[in-house]
């Protein structure tokens, strides 16, 4: 017999983290446990904050399909039971973990994906240009992602590049610019050898990019949630950012990765925040990606006891006890 339990948990950040339109001091997550035949599968989600998903709303969604899940609904059936978003993500990842334990196979055996360490960016949040340059100086990695809005973006990137001439730099605007600002800034960012501009425009304003040849590769985040939106990205973006909370789980995320590759789009894997339990499925997707952003758990005052193997921006493996990783 299968049983499901869901609970809200709150994790404090080491310091406030600012992106376009939001300042975060802690992360509420939903933890799902699915038990069957003496084994437990675990999944975690933070939800899509810009769609106003909360721990409470996600818990209500999960409880609404508890009966079907406890009767044995599969991951593919889950795609019909719940819409994309954090609730489905937490359940889907718990089902992957449970399946791995029930059949005694690792996630790598189940997916056919060979694992290797991956190099993640480490992130600089929005502040004044001098503070951001100091943050960048302290990062022990050769890959840095910088959060920007419409307040002095070029001045901030010049300060950061001067402080760190040695690193790959990615920029994440989180829908904070308009098209004219993108056209003005992208040539200057190219001079600074920026490797990517992520989500410069608001979701739904992507048609402005049709025919635009950006001197810096553009990445879709908020504009591409899952496979249903992928075709509309072709010809506008070079890269798609896969996040498990957007796709509603690892199952859809792997489908999105495969379909993006067939359309010759590059891939990034990102996160909405959370503990190592939330970053873990991203590590699986990261094996298929050109860019990796899995540093969410590093912002926490305290991570879960079983955490990702993470050092100087390199992620080496999964948390012990998850998806066949026995340590």
Q: Which residues are catalytic?
A: 147, 243
Strands 122-124 and 143-147: parallel
Find all residues with CB under 8 Å of 118, minimum gap 6, and list them: 283, 286, 287, 289, 292, 294, 314, 315
User: From CA 59, how far away is CA 94, in angstroms rounded?
Assistant: 14
Nearest CA among 6, 29, 20 for reference residue 299: 29
Cα end-to-end span (Å), the chain: 28
Q: Judge residue 1's burial from the number of C-beta atoms within 10 Å of its C-beta, 0-12 exposed, 13-18 middle, 19 or more buried.
A: exposed
> Is residue 269 within 8 Å of 243, Cβ to Cβ?
yes
- DSSP reduced 3-state for 123: strand
Query: Got the DSSP string for 21-49?
Result: TEEEEEEEEEEEEEEETTEEEEEEE---G
Nearest CA among 21, 22, 20, 42 for reference residue 33: 42
């Amino acid at each position: 017999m299968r049983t499901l339990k869901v609970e809200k948990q709150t994790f404090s950040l080491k310091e406030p983290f600012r992106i376009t339109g939001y300042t975060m001091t802690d992360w509420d997550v939903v933890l799902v446990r699915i038990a069957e035949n003496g084994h437990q599968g675990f999944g975690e989600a933070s939800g899509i904050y810009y769609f106003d998903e909360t721990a409470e709303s996600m818990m209500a969604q999960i409880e609404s399909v508890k009966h079907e899940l406890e009767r044995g609904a599969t991951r593919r059936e889950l795609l019909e039971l719940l819409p994309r978003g954090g609730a489905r993500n937490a359940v889907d990842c718990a089902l992957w973990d449970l399946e791995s334990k029930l059949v005694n196979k690792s996630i790598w055996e189940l997916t056919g994906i060979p694992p290797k360490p991956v190099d993640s960016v480490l992130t600089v949040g929005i502040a004044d240009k001098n503070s951001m340059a100091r943050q960048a100086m302290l990062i022990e990695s050769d890959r840095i992602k910088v959060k920007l809005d419409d307040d002095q973006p070029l001045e901030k990137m010049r300060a950061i590049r001067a402080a760190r001439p040695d690193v790959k730099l990615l920029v994440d605007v989180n829908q904070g610019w308009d098209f004219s600002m993108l056209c003005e800034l992208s040539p200057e960012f190219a001079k600074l050898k920026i490797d990517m501009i992520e989500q410069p425009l608001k979701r739904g304003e992507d048609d402005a990019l049709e025919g635009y040849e950006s001197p810096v590769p553009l990445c879709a985040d908020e504009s591409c949630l899952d496979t249903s939106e992928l075709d509309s990205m072709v010809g506008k973006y070079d890269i798609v950012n896969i996040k498990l909370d957007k796709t509603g789980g690892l199952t859809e995320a792997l489908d999105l990765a495969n379909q993006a590759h067939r359309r010759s789009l590059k891939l990034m894997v990102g996160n909405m925040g959370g503990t190592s339990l939330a970053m873990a499925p991203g590590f699986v997707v990261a094996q298929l990606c050109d860019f990796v952003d899995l540093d969410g758990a590093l912002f926490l005052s305290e991570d879960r006891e079983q955490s990702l193997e993470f050092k100087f921006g390199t992620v080496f493996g999964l948390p012990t006890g998850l998806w066949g990783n026995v340590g």
